[in-house]
């Protein structure tokens, strides 16, 4: 006949065996889960896909601060000082025309941020002035032609400095993450005719 002491010993043995078994199962489950794989980052691309449709600020890197966000109409340009297609010379910032360089009628030169169009995102910096007269009608951002073509899924023609297709203006959302040190006015964009670009 088993005594109370024998039953207690079995309980301890059973509890210890249960703990050892649970630890073995947990260890095997942890070993079976694959380690997370870091995804490569393509920093060379100017335009990327996917942003929350109603909250573009959620699509910017966590280390960048949202200073201003809004929406406007964007057009495109390419001022390479060739004199073609209304080219007005080298960009106001003193750098050669390049992808990612946008023009604003009022924001300070050097301002940085992102624009969003139909689920695509493009990083920009303000390097020139414009649109001119169209800004009086609410066209407040000139997008470089190469980025405009990528956003709209068309092609950029280096010879004619034009974008394929029939889009010349697109509705965009913008997020400003850094104000530039150059002349201009911080805040909501205002038309070129206001003279705010003079600083």
Task: Locate the domains of the chain by residue range.
Answer: 1-36, 47-198
- Degrees to nearest 5, angle at CA 155 with 154 and 157: 150
pLDDT at 19: 45
Helix (H, G, I), strand (E, B) or coil at 114: strand
Mean pLDDT of 35-56: 50
Residue burial 163-191, b: 16+ Cβ < 10 Å; e: rest: beeeeeebebbbbbbebbebbbbeeebbb
Query: In this model, does residue 184 exceed pLDDT 50?
Result: yes
Give, in order, the Cα–Cα distances in Å from 187 to each of 29, 67, 162, 172, 194. 54, 9, 30, 17, 14
Give the Cβ contact number of residue 154 at 10 Å: 15
Give the pLDDT band (50/70/90) at residue 54.
low
The model's pTM: 0.72
pLDDT at 36: 42
Residue 45: exposed, middle, or buried by beta-carbon count in 10 A (0-12, 13-18, 19+)? exposed
Q: Could you report how far apart the first and last alpha carbons of the chain are, in Å?
A: 99
Under DSSP, the state recorded for 197 is G
- Degrees to nearest 5, angle at CA 156 with 155 and 161: 150
Residue 140: exposed, middle, or buried by beta-carbon count in 10 A (0-12, 13-18, 19+)? buried
Give the chain's mean pLDDT.
81
Architecture of domain 47-198: Beta Barrel (2.40)
Mean pLDDT of 107-125: 97
């Amino acid at each position: 006949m088993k005594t109370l002491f024998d039953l207690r010993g079995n309980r301890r043995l059973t509890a210890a065996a249960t703990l050892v078994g649970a630890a073995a199962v947990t260890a095997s489950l942890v070993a079976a889960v694959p380690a997370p794989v870091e995804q490569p980052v393509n920093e060379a691309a100017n335009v990327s896909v996917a942003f929350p449709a109603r909250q573009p600020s959620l699509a910017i890197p966590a280390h960048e601060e949202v200073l201003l966000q809004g929406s406007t109409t964007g057009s495109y340009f390419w001022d390479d000082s060739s004199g073609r297609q209304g080219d007005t010379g080298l960009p106001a910032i003193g750098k050669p025309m390049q992808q990612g360089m946008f023009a604003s009628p009022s924001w300070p030169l050097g301002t940085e941020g992102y624009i969003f169009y139909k689920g695509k995102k493009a990083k920009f910096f303000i390097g020139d002035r414009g649109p001119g007269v169209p800004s009086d009608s609410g066209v407040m951002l000139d997008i470089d032609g190469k980025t405009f073509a990528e956003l709209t899924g068309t092609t950029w023609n280096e010879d004619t400095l034009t974008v394929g297709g029939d889009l010349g203006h697109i509705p965009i959302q913008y997020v400003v993450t850094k104000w530039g040190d150059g002349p201009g006015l911080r805040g909501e964009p205002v038309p070129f005719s206001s003279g705010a670009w003079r600083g």
